[in-house]
Structure 1
């Protein structure tokens, strides 16, 4: 699996750097796509397209959303004010190794969840998908 990560890391870095017009050195594993690197929704689509073209592995924004929400219905993931509740926060801690709810200064809203997604999270998702495609 380490070989797969090594092979896929340059693909992820190149896709992000090219799509955002930034230097590849800025694309660090702990950088968030939307916050630190300044990607917007349309950029995310471009990044995923570039990754698919280079790796042959398709990842969609819906796949990222499914990872982040884990199939938990909206009303169980957050409250009526769109604030992520304990169920949602517990899930995010499981799927985003870097996420620590104790570091939150204010309640996390559903709109902010995608902003937690890092380069490493994208690489991990790609690696998982590539391994599944290779096995199947």
Structure 2
């Protein structure tokens, strides 16, 4: 059984975050994967791209791949990918790091933390975590 999902890909809104490279995404489900879909390009900083397609059963992870040109490779800084299921549940896949090569990159659903927040959590334990929770 296949289910239709709406996928939203967001690029960070910082200098040079966009790319002219071709970007492909694959949804990986419990019983298989969707076809690899080329997203509309170019991705400019702050851009948001939406697309609908089908995947088998429940969603487990996403795969992003960026294919550069023969001579010029352009880095890309995606912020996050959000996938909405037919029942309205939104799966969030935070990226928050540069994709600089043409390799396959896999991401699981979760909450992304910036490195400074992670260091804060590791260094100060619950006190810092509580402060961070209050800032949400």
Query: Which category describes the TM-score, using the shorter chain as reference length?
Result: under 0.3
Structure with the greater relative contact order (CA < 8 A, sep ≥ 6): 1 or 2?
1
If the length of structure 2 is used for normalisation, what is the TM-score? 0.23
Q: Which has the larger radius of gyration?
A: 2
Q: Which structure shows the higher strand fraction?
A: 2
